[in-house]
Amino acid sequence: MKKLELHWQILIGMLLGILFALGMVQFNWGPQFISDWIKPFGTIFINSLKLIAIPLILAALIKGVSDLRDISSLSKMGLRTISTYIITTVVAVSIGLTVVSLVKPGGSINEDTRTELIEAYGGDAEMKRQDAKKQQDAGPLQALEDLVPSNIFSAASSNRNMLQVIFFAVFFGIALILIPEEKGATVKKFFDGFNEVILKMVDLIMLSAPYGVFALMAALVVEAPSTDLFAALGMYAFCVILGLALMVVFYIALVKGFTGKSPKFFMNGIAPAQLLAFSTSSSAATLPVTMERVTEHLGVEEEVSSFVLPIGATINMDGTSLYQAVAAVFIAQAFGIDLSFGTQLGIIATATLASIGSAAVPGAGMVMLVGVLGYAGIPEAGLALIFAVDRPLDMCRTVINVTGDASVSMLVAKSADKLGDPSPKNWDDNYDDVK
């Protein structure tokens, strides 16, 4: 019998997880059972992915940069990557603003519902606000200062410091290009092999993905907050999801237009990474799988993917920026604040920057949203309005963050003439889905 493709297996795992949890909550002891006996497997699965994120960035970027062989092709690819990332982010924010202005979801929230939501979630939102306050207190050059670690081992000890690890890896890669070839050969070979080992680890972890997402979804269902207030937020969530769906259309058109690859090819190739992004809400945890899919199933040469994707996972968050724009305008509408055209343009700029600054972990986009609200003079208490639905929307925007990185990597590969045919190495992959 033909083996079911991985993305179907993952999807079935997710659905079964939801159904299982919905069944279990009928029993008094059900939620506790899931927390004690099912959730840990989800945590183990995410941890095993996060475990290899930093070694993967180190190995992939050092290999990627040093494969470029000269500094001019590095700066050319770097420039292309960053500028395409910024363009897609600005498109995302603009789509978000258009949708939320047309649908006006905040208009339907009345005074009572607003008070109810703020009372229900005010405390949780306060924590986010304090996190954001710490970031706002920093000086104007803090972000630049934070880029350079004072100790690579302490930087590599936390997944939150990915940008610092990227800095080190690119710096190391550049130095490797600059030394005589015979001296660098062994080091390069080491990182090539190291990279292969990490990618194989991803393959092995992915074998357990359907079970991992089963556990993650089951835990999510039993931990979900009350659903009563969700109706009031339905239109807001609809705007975010509609905007995100339009982004998928945009990526598909971009990939088709610039590389000639069909939507089916693109979506089939990236699907397992999307499903994983959905279940983990973390582009950082998904990165190893994004790398594997893009390289082996979308035909992007490793030289490009190992450079473009780690950077994308950290700075390119189209879904997050779109969400931030919609959320800011929604809160303004709910409080009856009219935003001028100038303020809306400012939201494009601040949401772009805020998404670049968001860490690739669950909930980070909401912390950075505070900056956008602050800029536009929208009350921060509004965070409490959207708190209840933030997790499901986080799951959806992370899918777009990952899809955006994958499409840009195809564009950059095409422009550098490094887009070939897919070459799955993994014995478990289904070869049919890559044609």
Interface with ligand ASP (CB under 6 A): 281-283, 317, 320, 358, 360-365, 394, 397-398, 401
CB-nearest residue to ligand ASP: 365
Tell me which amino acid residue 213 is.
V
Q: From the CB of 318, what's the least distance to ligand ASP, in Å? A: 10
Return the SS3 of 317. coil
Measured from the CB atom, is 218 or 395 closer to ligand ASP? Answer: 395
Give how far Cα 410 sits from Cα of 204, 220, 256, 300, Å: 25, 33, 10, 6
Q: From the CB of 401, what's the least distance to ligand ASP, in Å? A: 4
Measured from the CB atom, is 169 or 361 closer to ligand ASP? Answer: 361
Q: From the CB of 5, what's the least distance to ligand ASP, in Å? A: 24
Q: From the CB of 75, what's the least distance to ligand ASP, in Å? A: 27
Question: For residue 266, what are the contacts with CB-CB under 8 A and spacing of at least 6?
Answer: 251, 252, 255, 256, 298, 406, 407, 410
Long-range contacts of 337-346 (CB under 8 A, 24+ apart): 337/377, 337/378, 339/376, 343/376, 343/377, 344/97, 344/101, 346/375, 346/376
- Residue 26 tokens read as 């009928």
Q: From the CB of 205, what's the least distance to ligand ASP, in Å? A: 18
Measured from the CB atom, is 103 or 364 closer to ligand ASP? Answer: 364
Measured from the CB atom, is 284 or 434 closer to ligand ASP? Answer: 284
Residues listed for the chain: 435
Compute the distance between CA of residue 403 and CA of residue 319 in angstroms, rounded to an integer.
9
Measured from the CB atom, is 216 or 361 closer to ligand ASP? Answer: 361
Q: From the CB of 283, what's the least distance to ligand ASP, in Å? A: 4
Measured from the CB atom, is 254 or 366 closer to ligand ASP? Answer: 366
Contact 198, 288 (CB under 8 A): yes
Q: From the CB of 313, what's the least distance to ligand ASP, in Å? A: 8
Compute the distance between CA of residue 63 and CA of residue 302 in angstroms, rounded to an integer.
9
Q: From the CB of 358, what's the least distance to ligand ASP, in Å? A: 5
DSSP 223-282: H---STTHHHHHHHHHHHHHHHHHHHHHHHHHHHHHH---HHHHHHHHHHHHHHHHHH--
Contact 274, 399 (CB under 8 A): yes
Measured from the CB atom, is 177 or 322 closer to ligand ASP? Answer: 322
Measured from the CB atom, is 6 or 313 closer to ligand ASP? Answer: 313
DSSP 41-99: HHHHHHHHHHHTHHHHHHHHHHHHHHHT-SHHHHHHHHHHHHHHHHHHHHHHHHHHHHH
Measured from the CB atom, is 105 or 362 closer to ligand ASP? Answer: 362
Q: From the CB of 244, what's the least distance to ligand ASP, in Å? A: 11
